[in-house]
A = this chain, B = another copy of it.
Amino acid sequence: MSDRTPVQNAELALLLEVTGTPKPGNVDRDREFSDLRFEHFMAGAVGARPGLERAGAGDRLGRAFERAVAGMADQSAGNTQFGALLVLAPLVAAASDGELTPDFVDSVVRGTTVDDAADFYRAFEHVDVAVDDPPDGLEPLDVRRGSDAVPVLEARGLTLFDVMEQSADVDGVAAEWAGQFERVFAAAERILADDGPVSERASRAFVELLAEERDTFVVTRNGPEAAEEVQRRAKAVLDGDEDAAELADDLVERDINPGTTADLVAGALFVALERGLVV
């Protein structure tokens, strides 16, 4: 078993996530965009570290997340790992408390406060994150308002868990917060049961998650039809009817980027590393 701390494993999970290839539609070791390159993910992971350290030290979870995002954004390409950090922060907090289980992570996220929610909103001031317009009546809580929304959070007494629960239907990361990180823990077990290089396991876990549910980031940016197409073609890859590398090239070409699925892979790699995945 490695001597790495949970914070080190979280950083390594971010690095291994982007190392996995092919990860259809996402930046990986073989594919990048001219304005969002592999090197930006390296700098994002290193920059996020002080925030992850706060999560590991038991600081307020929202604040730890906001600091991780601020550090992640300290590179020239903007958002690289916002969603992945939102997955990782509670997992690191739970692991550092010695209990990386669905029940305990659930208690961590349910223990968040209105202050954590305010931190979460502030985190959106560091980077542009593609999000849906809020549902009718929830405009005052549009995350794009950043800290301007904090008085509304306070007036309504909304914790970070409440905020995530409200978005669980439309955001795959929020769904993990609201649902005991079920898909993350399941994917971690598949990664552990898999064999071969970690980068290949990460790629396979990515395609499996992609085939399992529509990627909510694709729904937001490219619409539900694109998300359904991606899910269908990921299933075809698993069935051997489509080539993962070709799917990857096509999605990159069309700027269809299943970012939420990548966020879940980062979480799954973290859990797998904590449970003994050998690199």
A69 CB, min distance to chain B CBs, angstroms = 13
**Interface contact B76-A43, CB-CB below 8 Å:** no
Per-residue B-contact encoding for A195-236, CB less than 8 Å = 1, 0 else:
001110000000000000000000000000000000000000
CA distance A12 to B198 in the complex (A): 21
CA distance A2 to B42 in the complex (A): 14
Q: Taking the complex as formed, is A26 at the interface, i.e. its CB lies under 8 A from any CB of chain B?
A: no
Count A-side interface residues using an 8 Å CB cutoff: 30
Within 8 A of B (CB), among A56-88: 71, 74-76
Given A8-B46, A43-B279, are A71 and B37 also a contact pair (CB < 8 Å)?
A: no
Q: Taking the complex as formed, is A39 at the interface, i.e. its CB lies under 8 A from any CB of chain B?
A: yes
| Interface of A (DSSP majority class) | helix
Within 8 A of B (CB), among A223-279: 278-279
Per-residue B-contact encoding for A12-48, CB less than 8 Å = 1, 0 else:
1001100100000000011000000111101101110
Question: In the complex, what residues of B have CB within 8 A of residue A71's CB?
Answer: 3
Q: Taking the complex as formed, is A11 at the interface, i.e. its CB lies under 8 A from any CB of chain B?
A: yes
Q: Taking the complex as formed, is A110 at the interface, i.e. its CB lies under 8 A from any CB of chain B?
A: no
CA distance A9 to B37 in the complex (A): 18
Given A15-B15, A43-B279, A76-B279, are A199 and B3 also a contact pair (CB < 8 Å)?
A: no
